[in-house]
Amino acid sequence: MLAIPGGTGSAAGVTLAAFEEPRLPAIQMREAIRQAMAEEMRRDPMVFLMGEEVAYYDGAYKVSQGMLEEFGPDRIVDTPISENGFAGLGVGAAMAGMRPIIEFMTFNFSLVAYDQVINSAARIYQMSAGQYKCPMVFRGPNGAAENLASQHSTSVESIYAHFPGLKVVAPSTPYDAKGLLKSAIRDDNPVIFLESEMMYAVKGEVPTEEYLVPIGKADEKRPGTDLVLISWGKQVVNCLKAAESLEKEGISAAVLDLRSLRPLDHDAIFAAVARTHRAVVVQEGFAFAGVAAEITARIVESCFDLLDAPVLRVTNRDVPMPYATVLEKQVIITPERIIESARKVMGRK
């Protein structure tokens, strides 16, 4: 019980709120990412940021705002619209001992640099028999925003998680974004760091002191006993909204935020399934050959006897993203679609 000096309750003129722990500062996702990069650049002179409009324009989404003034043009480097070129330059710099952060204005454009990411960054350690490491981060917004059509709405996690040699992470909160990015910058392997254009303005509490979030550890964002909703990145928000609505129907849904897709936290996934006996995997992107399919397969392989219902997936519709708003809404994931799948695994119409 909390001891209140001078008496108890309002009779002493003191409220419990006066003794609560002070809240952490709430900052936007873009600020959390900026803090992570700036702190690591102050800590290690080998870290630098390179990409389109990261310097004089302060970043396409203002993620790198003010960094040019502090670190100068040698460490905050504007590039031409040539993803294959500056991604390859980053690979060479990493092999030479630096720790580049390569920003893609959108991860759709990383496909232009696919050869550099896969054939060079992901494989150089193995191909050189460990003589060369490739400590670098490829970061930028992933997936759909609003009315950006098919060439600017691709979710690339399934593409990159397919290849050994890469680590793939996708934060859903400013806290996780900062801690994961700091871990990614310090990692000796190339890391794909997936953000969301729709979440740059989302606010969350972030400590002022130094902290890291380990790559490869999931986080249960909401407890539950009837089923678990498994997701990462932007879709964790939709899962939390769905879980809140399901609670009103008497369904207790846990929300497991994977945070990291490679490596994958199997223990957290299997523990959640063992506790709830039902699972729905939510992935922005296509169902065919997706990360959700991989997670579903692993649950079935390792937890089949614990399941009380088939594992269901909620994904984008299997078409290129339309431009028109009315059609886009038919393709993307919504809390309502997650709720529908949750009802199915619970045996409700």
Interatomic CA distance for residues 63 and 31, integer angstroms: 7
Give the active site residue among 31, 52, 83, 284: 83
Q: CB of 139 within 8 A of CB of 181?
A: yes
Residue 259 sits at φ, ψ, to 5 deg, of 65, -40
- Per DSSP (E only), the strands in the chain are 26-28, 47-51, 76-78, 99-103, 137-141, 167-169, 191-195, 203-205, 219-222, 227-231, 253-257, 260-262, 279-283, 312-315
Q: Could you confirm whether 20 is annotated as catalytic?
A: no
Sign of torsion, CA 75 81 85 90?
positive
Q: Which helix (H) or strand (E) holds 37?
A: helix 29-43
Give the active site residue among 31, 103, 152, 197: 152
Interatomic CA distance for residues 251 and 308, integer angstroms: 15
Looking at the DSSP assignment, which residues form a beta bridge with residue 140?
A: 194
Q: Could you confirm whether 83 is annotated as catalytic?
A: yes
- Residues serving a catalytic function are 83, 152
